[in-house]
Structure 1
């Protein structure tokens, strides 16, 4: 990693979800400025945690900003589940699967990608080019002193992935295999980009603030000896009734990953946190603070520390009033 030897550190940035103007404002707040059409910092580099697309008002802008930074060596990125979903949604399935697309075009899947496809509708070549770039994005990064993955760091799965794909990038065969439940590729994509989900009891659902009905909940992976569902639940929606006190079964505990307190600092997104950014563990930072739901687009300024510090969070709020939202005047990427 000699190309990073002269850097002060990295600025890790959470799920953008199409909030392109907000991203530009956050980069400027962090001291990045546009030169030659690329946001640059003289002493730092950015790392994006994936989920650039879907839901937000300036998706093409978000993709263009980040892609230019990555291609110019000013940033790194890991793949989020929304980039993965887009690849599978737009890839025709082999005949053995008995359907037209790798990710079926169900009402739920259509709704998730709707804004992205609409914003690229008049730019089909640009969308094809963006999809090709998504394929180049690695699933994880491990740099000296820190690790980055979109949803969950599962060391045994990552070790197995690296034996087949040392650079952490997927290919067409891996993408095809990943949509078949239970395959190794499915396990990798599900765990690294979506995290661990524990099914709810039969007939119990969570009605999320984003309008979806969920039959499972997202679980974190840093509790040392979790005993109940409440010890591992990690999402803004509360568990119904008294399910937080429900004991974890042996099977559920075995299914959970664990990231130990002695491991290097880990940065994740994905989990729709709310409120003032905080650290769920001394060596874990979640940077998804629901920007596209009028929350915060959050960064963490990492400068080599082995124990993370909540004072290093930097963010831009996304106000609900449209006239108050960031509108950096010089942005003309799209």
Structure 2
């Protein structure tokens, strides 16, 4: 998908149903509501996915973003939570032994609960949005900058585009993703969830959100990592003894590396905290935990080819977001 190289863009991180905060951010960026759509005379908004789940106003946020996209005022890529919604709602392929692509387990139900509750009285709306999710590309490559929800893997993306030139997936792809180890499964896990590594010695960790995991999220850009601590990229720290554990040569070879000379890359997904800033001159994460009362963050992109720390813009999410 190509974007107008002469236009300026505002890239926006994970919204997760924080519609009122999104309105505040758009207002701060100079967008104004006209005819029910947020518009800017010179700029376009680019959303990094995860509009749904967890937050208090998912339906309102979806209508806002969808309205901007339909009016040519925004683009939006797919996040893992939009894909989870498709998987929850898509029947599994015959013979798979499953009822749905994303099985209706208590853990999966917990993640999508707020979204489904907010659409209980609007089933037609929900069906329309599920159809729209199929239209969201997994990636956008604009030449001098790129967008993906979690991780850019050039090889996987090139193979994906050989069948899906605009990186938009269909129901058969969603169904195929339920098969462990399939190409579709690898694409979804890598592009929408990122890279990870197994913890040593069968160790498991329970994160702050209550999920027990046997792996941890890893950086996909570190040039010369030596220990587990050098590559961890998630809100929950590793135990100190794990962080000090040296990486084996085999583990180092498994790591993906997004080079420093590659185009600027924008991702969401990773629940960062603190003051928004570039990770590297060509890499920025714009997810600063808005739905956990962090920050909803944008980057104001003009014609630069390397990130400018002064061009991050954000609004703090206050607790009344969930009360008003």
In the alignment, is the contact (CA less than 8 A) between 1:318 and 1:325 conserved in 2?
no
**Larger CA deviation: 275-284 vs 106-115:** 275-284
Query: Which sections of structure 2, spanning at least 5 residues, go unmatched?
Result: none
Aligned to 1:148: 147
**Larger CA deviation: 248-257 vs 115-124:** 248-257
Q: Give the Cα separation in 1 of the matches to 2:101 and 2:61.
A: 25
Q: Give the Cα separation in 2 of the matches to 1:283 and 1:73.
A: 27
* Offset, 1:216: 1.3
Aligned to 1:315: 314
Aligned to 2:136: 137
Give the TM-score normalised by the residue count of structure 2: 0.96
Aligned to 2:89: 90
In the alignment, is the contact (CA less than 8 A) between 1:6 and 1:43 conserved in 2?
no
In the alignment, is the contact (CA less than 8 A) between 1:22 and 1:326 conserved in 2?
no
1:50 aligns with 2:49: yes
In the alignment, is the contact (CA less than 8 A) between 2:16 and 2:58 conserved in 1?
yes
1:210 aligns with 2:226: no
Q: Give the Cα separation in 2 of the matches to 1:206 and 1:258.
A: 26
* Offset, 1:2: 8.8
In the alignment, is the contact (CA less than 8 A) between 1:222 and 1:281 conserved in 2?
no
Q: Give the Cα separation in 2 of the matches to 1:2 and 1:82.
A: 24
Aligned residues: 324
Aligned to 1:167: 166
Aligned to 2:236: 237
Q: Give the Cα separation in 2 of the matches to 1:3 and 1:17.
A: 25
Q: Give the Cα separation in 2 of the matches to 1:119 and 1:36.
A: 25
* Offset, 1:79: 0.5
Aligned to 2:196: 197
Aligned to 2:79: 80
1:224 aligns with 2:226: no
| Cα gap change, 1:5 to 1:287, in 2 (>3 Å) | closer
Secondary structure of the equivalent of 1:160?
helix
Aligned to 2:179: 180
1:35 aligns with 2:69: no
| Cα gap change, 1:160 to 1:6, in 2 (>3 Å) | closer
Q: Give the Cα separation in 1 of the matches to 2:203 and 2:28.
A: 43
In the alignment, is the contact (CA less than 8 A) between 1:206 and 1:240 conserved in 2?
no
Kindly report structure 1 stretches of 4+ aligned residues shifted beyond 3 Å: 324-327
In the alignment, is the contact (CA less than 8 A) between 2:143 and 2:263 conserved in 1?
no
Aligned to 1:268: 267
| Cα gap change, 1:196 to 1:138, in 2 (>3 Å) | same
In the alignment, is the contact (CA less than 8 A) between 1:194 and 1:270 conserved in 2?
yes
Aligned to 1:11: 10
Deviations 1:18-60 (A, max 9, x none): 1011111101110011111111111110100000000000000
